[in-house]
Amino acid sequence: MVRLELDQVVMRRMKEDDIEIVKALIKEGCEGTENRLVLHILTRPLCLFVLAVFSSVLRCLVHSFILALAIPVFLLIIFLKITMPRSTGVLGSSRPYWDYVGSSYRGTQDEILSNPYSRISGRTPVTKKPRRRTGCKDKEMSSEKITPEREQTAGQVWVAECEGEIVGCVFRESESRAGIARICRLVTGCWYRREGLGRLLLQSLENREREAGAHRVYAHVPYPSKVGEAFFRKVGYLQLGEVENEEEEDDEIKNETPEKGFMGYPLTKVFYKDL
């Protein structure tokens, strides 16, 4: 673990040069999420019952008891991996992750989030120009056609940069409801976890949304992620459905639902916070 000086972190909009780095950061942060989601669905009682029924039918056709058990499970795993949102994507949305990573760098290139730690310390964050990665991937990105409609749908990606290195990122979905912001991905580099970086990214984005007139923020967390759940609870978020009569008191909550997978099982937990 590397000690990170939070007052030296600059949070800015992602640029085209950052795309490959951010994609690698997301892949690192989501490692194993898809497999845990598959295991979560496979171990649900109704799913186990369906697998048992198919195994019993298949046992009449296949002389091997092991094959009769393994074939339905194998086919279901393949089906889940094909139909489930990619682990390197944005859970809580049916759109592919490229619509976020590939499109959202467009906009105000110099736009940054305020860092509350730098105001407290009185120090000015020092930025270093990151090295540009050249190669075939840059050519592929430049040839990608991005329409204004796709750019609007993409939302925003904010990256946390310290001394020229991207150490974290947060995804904010495009506005679909007035006064509502949605966070669909929050990732910090493995060397900079438990240093307060995730809290800093979230707090800075919340401050920006509050100033822009938002009154509530939603965050989608992969269902098996105990770390993500504990983090959002720690920073003051409530899980959707844990407060009694919340739908009766607030009709807006009904518009936010978790991402559903096979047989309607939830893939995400939804957390919210009033600003």
pLDDT for 122:
56
pTM of the full structure = 0.76
49 Cβ neighbours under 8 A, 6+ residues apart? none
pLDDT tens series, the chain, 275 aa: 557 788 788 888 887 777 778 878 877 777 777 788 888 888 888 889 989 999 988 888 888 888 888 999 999 888 887 776 544 344 444 444 444 544 455 555 568 888 887 765 556 665 555 554 444 444 444 445 555 665 555 678 888 888 888 888 888 877 677 888 888 788 888 887 888 888 999 999 999 889 888 889 998 888 878 888 899 999 999 988 777 766 656 777 777 877 777 777 777 888 999 88
Q: Taking a C-beta distance cutoff of 8 angstroms, is the pair 246, 253 a contact?
A: yes
Closest by CA position to 256, among listed 266, 212, 82? 266
CA distances (Å), origin 269, targets 103, 173, 237, 247? 26, 16, 12, 16
- Dist. CA 191–CA 186, nearest whole Å: 15
Q: Taking a C-beta distance cutoff of 8 angstroms, is the pair 270, 256 a contact?
A: yes
pLDDT for 151:
59
Q: Taking a C-beta distance cutoff of 8 angstroms, is the pair 112, 12 a contact?
A: yes
- Dist. CA 105–CA 98, nearest whole Å: 11
pLDDT for 113:
83
Q: Which domains does the chain have, with CATH numbers?
A: 10-16+89-125+147-274 (3.40.630.30)
**3-class secondary structure per residue, the chain:** CCCCCHHHCEEEECCHHHHHHHHHHHHHHCCCHHHHHHHHHHCCHHHHHHHHHHHHHHHCCCCCHHHHHHHHHHHHHHHHHHHCCCCCCCCCCCCCCHHHHCCCCCCCCCCEECCHHHHHHCCCCCCCCCCCCCCHHHHHHHHCCCCHHHHHHHCEEEEEEECCEEEEEEEECCCCCCCEEEEEEEEECHHHCCCCHHHHHHHHHHHHHHHCCCCEEEEEEECCCHHHHHHHHHCCCEECCCCCCHHHHCHHHHHCCCCECHHHCECEEEEEEEC
